[in-house]
A and B are shown apart, each in its own frame.
Chain A
C-alpha cells in the first residue's frame, strides 16, 4: 500500500484531538457514535491475496466471474408471472393437492422443477398413518409415504419438463437417501437413466442435531448415510448435488455470526472427510456440495463481510486442508438466498416493516456477490405460507434494487473499503478460532455428541433475547417505538394463497386412505423379503444402502418401513435436555 501507515496513525491522533474532540463537545457527546476506518485498520491488506478477481481464488469478490443477473426487460415487455416463484420452496397437503398446485403454477409460467417442502412426518421418517404424527400431515409440506406419491406428485412434470429436463430440490435431510431412491425409482419407471437426473437434496443431517431437529438416527450412523450419498451420487448421478449445506438454520435457531460460520465449515469438513475416508478423490465430489443459505441478520455491513469471509474460508479449507486441485471444488455455490435479513428478525408487529427489512437484506446480498433478492416476503411471521401479495412485493423490491437502483452493476463494490476489509478479516478470524475449538474436540460430530454445540447455541439464543429485552438489540415496533403515538399499520392480504386451505385440512384423511390402498395392492410378501435384506445390509457397515432403498421403493415399501428397519439397527437419536 502506497500510504505511509505511520503517518496515517499520527494524523489520526491529531484528527481526534483537533477535530473530533471539539465536535463531541459541541454535540455534548461522551463518545463518538460513529467510527472511521483508515488504511491503518487493514495493515497487511494485499489485494491479490485478500480479495482477488471475481471467480478466482480466494473468491472474496465472488464465486463466479460475474453473476448471471437477469437482463433488464425492454420497455413494455412483461415477463411471465411466477417465473421466479416457480423455484420457491413449496408443497402442501396430499400428493394430489401438491400436484394440482404445480399444475396451477405451470399455467402461470413455471418452467422449472419443484423445490419440494415435505411435511414433518416425511422428514422424520414416519408414515402418514402413524398415530404419533396426527395433525402434521400435509402441513409444512407435502406428505410422501411411497413411490406412488411421487408418481402422483410428478405428473405435471412430463415432456419438456420431464425428470431429465428439470432440477428438483428436496428438503429432506435424515431420510434423504430413501426419498432420493424413490426419485431414482420414478426415473427408472419413466425410462430415464440416472445419470441424466439433476437434483439437490438438502441432505445436511449434522445441522439437524443443532437446529431444525428433524433427525432420526444418532450422528455416527447418520454419517454413514451421508457416506452412501457421497459415494453413490458421485458414481451414478453426476448431476445430483450430494447435499446443500449452510448455517442459515443454525442462525435462525440463535447462534451468532461467528458460530454460524465456524460450525458450517466444521460440517463441511466432516462431509469432505467422510468422502475421502470412503476412498474418493476430494475433487471428484467436492464440486457437488452446494449451499442453501448462509447467514442472515439485519447488521448490513457485517453480513456483507460474512459472505465474503465465508467464500474465502470455504476455498481455503478445500485447497489447503483437503488439497483440492480442481477450481470447481473451491466454489461456495449458493442457491437463491445469499445475504438476507434473517427470517427470525421478521416481526408480527407492524408486519409491513419486514418489507423494509428485507430490502436491507437484498442490498447486502447484491453488494456481496449475490442476487438482489429481498427475502422473505413480509408476512413470514403471520402464519405458514406467504400471500401472493407479499411475494409480489418481495419480487418487486428485488427488481427495484436491480433495475432502478442498479445495485448489481458492479461485482463486490465494497472491496477495498477499509471498514469492510477490516470487518471481513475480523469475522474470518473469529470463524477460524471457533472452528479450531470444534476441531480440538474431535470435530463437529464429537462436539454434537458431547452437547457442546447445543449448549452454546441455547446460550447464544438466550443472550440475544436478553439483548432484545435490555434494548441492546432493537426491533422497531417490538421493543421500541411502540408508544401510543405510533400507528398500528394493519395490512389486508386480499389475494388468497395458491394453497387450497380446505384441501390442506382434508389432506390427512386423504393420505391415510391413499396409503392403505397402496398397502392393499402391493405384493406384501416381496415387501417383507426386501425389508429383511435391508436389515442384513444395514448391519454391514461397508454396504451402500441406496440400491436396496431403490428396490424397496419400486416395490412400494413405505418410507417408515425402511426407517424402522434402520431404527432397529442404528438406534434413534435422543437429544439431551437441559
Chain B
C-alpha cells in the first residue's frame, strides 16, 4: 500500500431467478459515477456464485437486488456463506421490492441496510462510504 486509499469495490448481484435488473444496472453505473469500482454479476446468480465472485473481485461491498419475493431465503443464504468463508468485513446491502415487515428479519441476518424504490444513488453511495468496513 502506498498510503493512497484505493477505490471502494462494489459487487452488484442478482441472486435467484429474478430478471428485473433495472435497479442493479442503474446502480452499477451510478456508483461508478460516485467514484467506486463496480462489477455487475448479471442475472441468475446462486448465493454460492455471488460469494465466490465477491472473494475473487475482492469486493468491499455486495449489493443484493431481488424483486421476486425470494429475498428471505436468498439474502440470508449469502450471509451464511460469507460467514462460512470467514468473511465478516464485507458490507452487504439489499434492494428491490422488499416489504417493510421483512427488513428487521434481513437485518437480523446481517444485511446492513435495505434500500427501497425511489432511493437516490447518492444516498446509497453516502451510506456505503460511511459504513464500509475496510
Contact surface of A with B, Cβ cutoff 8 Å:
120-121, 123-124, 126, 132-136, 139-140, 208, 211-214, 252-254, 344, 346-349, 381-384, 458, 461-462, 465, 468-469, 475, 478-479, 575, 577-578
Residues of B within 8 A of A139 (CB): 68-70
Contact B117 A458 (CB under 8 A): no
B95-125 contacts to A, CB under 8 A, are: 97-100, 116-118, 120-122
Is the CB of B21 closer than 8 A to any CB of chain A?
A: yes
Question: Within the complex, what minimum Cβ distance (angstroms) separates B64 from chain A?
Answer: 12
Q: Considering the chains assembled together, what is the distance between the CA atoms of A440 and B33 in angstroms?
A: 33
Contact A575 B117 (CB under 8 A): no
B41-86 contacts to A, CB under 8 A, are: 41-44, 46, 68-70, 72-74, 77
Is the CB of B94 closer than 8 A to any CB of chain A?
A: no
Q: Considering the chains assembled together, what is the distance between the CA atoms of A257 and B57 in angstroms?
A: 37
Q: Considering the chains assembled together, what is the distance between the CA atoms of A64 and B21 in angstroms?
A: 37
A-B contact pairs, 17 of them (CB 8 A): A123-B17, A135-B74, A139-B69, A214-B17, A252-B20, A252-B22, A253-B22, A254-B25, A347-B118, A383-B98, A383-B99, A458-B25, A462-B30, A469-B120, A475-B118, A479-B118, A578-B25
Residues of A within 8 A of B41 (CB): 577
Contact B97 A469 (CB under 8 A): no
The count of A-to-B residue pairs whose CB atoms sit within 8 angstroms is 101
Q: Considering the chains assembled together, what is the distance between the CA atoms of A512 and B57 in angstroms?
A: 35
Q: Considering the chains assembled together, what is the distance between the CA atoms of A136 and B16 in angstroms?
A: 7
Interchain CB contact (< 8 A) of A140 among B69, B72, B122: B69
Question: Within the complex, what minimum Cβ distance (angstroms) separates B132 from chain A?
Answer: 22
**Chain A, Cβ-Cβ closest to B75:** A135
Residues of B within 8 A of A468 (CB): 120
Is the CB of B29 closer than 8 A to any CB of chain A?
A: yes
User: With A135-B74, A462-B29 in contact, is A253–B20 under 8 Å at CB?
Assistant: yes
Is the CB of B19 closer than 8 A to any CB of chain A?
A: yes
User: With A134-B73, A136-B70 in contact, is A348–B116 under 8 Å at CB?
Assistant: yes
Interchain CB contact (< 8 A) of B17 among A124, A208, A254, A577: A124
Q: Considering the chains assembled together, what is the distance between the CA atoms of A461 and B99 in angstroms?
A: 24
Q: Considering the chains assembled together, what is the distance between the CA atoms of A120 and B68 in angstroms?
A: 8
Q: Considering the chains assembled together, what is the distance between the CA atoms of A479 and B46 in angstroms?
A: 34
Question: Within the complex, what minimum Cβ distance (angstroms) separates A459 from chain B?
Answer: 9
Contact A577 B40 (CB under 8 A): yes
Contact A462 B42 (CB under 8 A): no
Contact surface of B with A, Cβ cutoff 8 Å:
16-22, 25-26, 28-30, 40-44, 46, 68-70, 72-74, 77, 97-100, 116-118, 120-122
- Known pairs A135-B77, A347-B117; list 20 more (Cβ under 8 Å): A120-B68, A126-B17, A134-B77, A135-B72, A139-B69, A139-B70, A212-B19, A213-B18, A252-B22, A348-B118, A349-B118, A381-B116, A382-B100, A384-B97, A384-B99, A462-B30, A469-B120, A469-B122, A577-B40, A578-B40
Question: Within the complex, what minimum Cβ distance (angstroms) separates A133 from chain B?
Answer: 7
Interface centre among A140, A475, A479 (most CB of B within 10 A): A140
Question: Within the complex, what minimum Cβ distance (angstroms) separates B115 from chain A?
Answer: 10
**Chain B, Cβ-Cβ closest to A138:** B69
Question: Within the complex, what minimum Cβ distance (angstroms) separates B36 from chain A?
Answer: 15
Question: Within the complex, what minimum Cβ distance (angstroms) separates B34 from chain A?
Answer: 11
Residues of B within 8 A of A135 (CB): 16, 70, 72-74, 77
Question: Within the complex, what minimum Cβ distance (angstroms) separates B117 from chain A?
Answer: 5
**Chain A, Cβ-Cβ closest to B98:** A383
Interchain CB contact (< 8 A) of A461 among B19, B22, B69, B100: B22
Question: Within the complex, what minimum Cβ distance (angstroms) separates A325 from chain B?
Answer: 38
Residues of B within 8 A of A214 (CB): 17, 19
Interchain CB contact (< 8 A) of A213 among B21, B46, B72: B21
**Chain B, Cβ-Cβ closest to A136:** B70
**Chain A, Cβ-Cβ closest to B76:** A135
Contact A458 B29 (CB under 8 A): yes
Contact B118 A213 (CB under 8 A): no
Q: Considering the chains assembled together, what is the distance between the CA atoms of A381 and B70 in angstroms?
A: 16
Q: What 6 pairs between A and B have smallest CB-CB spacing?
A: A213-B19, A135-B73, A120-B17, A383-B99, A135-B70, A139-B69
Q: Considering the chains assembled together, what is the distance between the CA atoms of A577 and B12 in angstroms?
A: 11
Residues of B within 8 A of A381 (CB): 97, 116-117
**Chain A, Cβ-Cβ closest to B16:** A136
Residues of B within 8 A of A120 (CB): 16-19, 68, 70
Interchain CB contact (< 8 A) of A577 among B18, B42, B46, B97: B42
Q: Considering the chains assembled together, what is the distance between the CA atoms of A376 and B77 in angstroms?
A: 32
Residues of B within 8 A of A140 (CB): 68-69
User: With A348-B116, A384-B69 in contact, is A575–B29 under 8 Å at CB?
Assistant: no
Contact A479 B68 (CB under 8 A): no
User: With A139-B70, A381-B117 in contact, is A465–B26 under 8 Å at CB?
Assistant: yes
